[in-house]
Structures are given as C-alpha cells and as structure tokens.
Amino acid sequence: MDNHPIAGAFHLVVSFIIADHHTTVPKVVRERIRDFIIQKRQ
C-alpha cells in the first residue's frame, strides 16, 4: 500500500483537510472534497 498512488493521493487529501484551518481554501471546496471522500468510502 505504501507505493499505491491512490493511497498516496488519499493521504494527501486527508492531510490537506485536517490542516485546512491553516489554509485559505474556500469552505465550499473543502466540503466537496469531504463529500467525495465519503462517497468513495461507501
């Protein structure tokens, strides 16, 4: 799993969302990313 590109991208997105209070990314964008991840988990 360490070298799996999707897993790596997923980790980056999760890290981005966790750290989103340090960014200026619009709330709508964060919500759409979160919804996308929720859909992928189902």
Q: Is the pTM of this model over 0.85?
A: no
Give, in order, the Cα–Cα distances in Å from 29 to each of 2, 21, 26. 27, 13, 5
Question: Of 6-15, 16-25, 27-36, which has the strongest mean pLDDT?
Answer: 27-36
The domain segmentation of the chain, as residue ranges, is: 5-41
Please provide the size of the chain in residues.
42
24: Cβ contacts below 8 Å, ≥ 6 apart: none
Mean pLDDT throughout 5-9? 77
Res 21: pLDDT: 59
Res 23: pLDDT: 60
Q: Percentage of the chain surpassing pLDDT 90?
A: 2
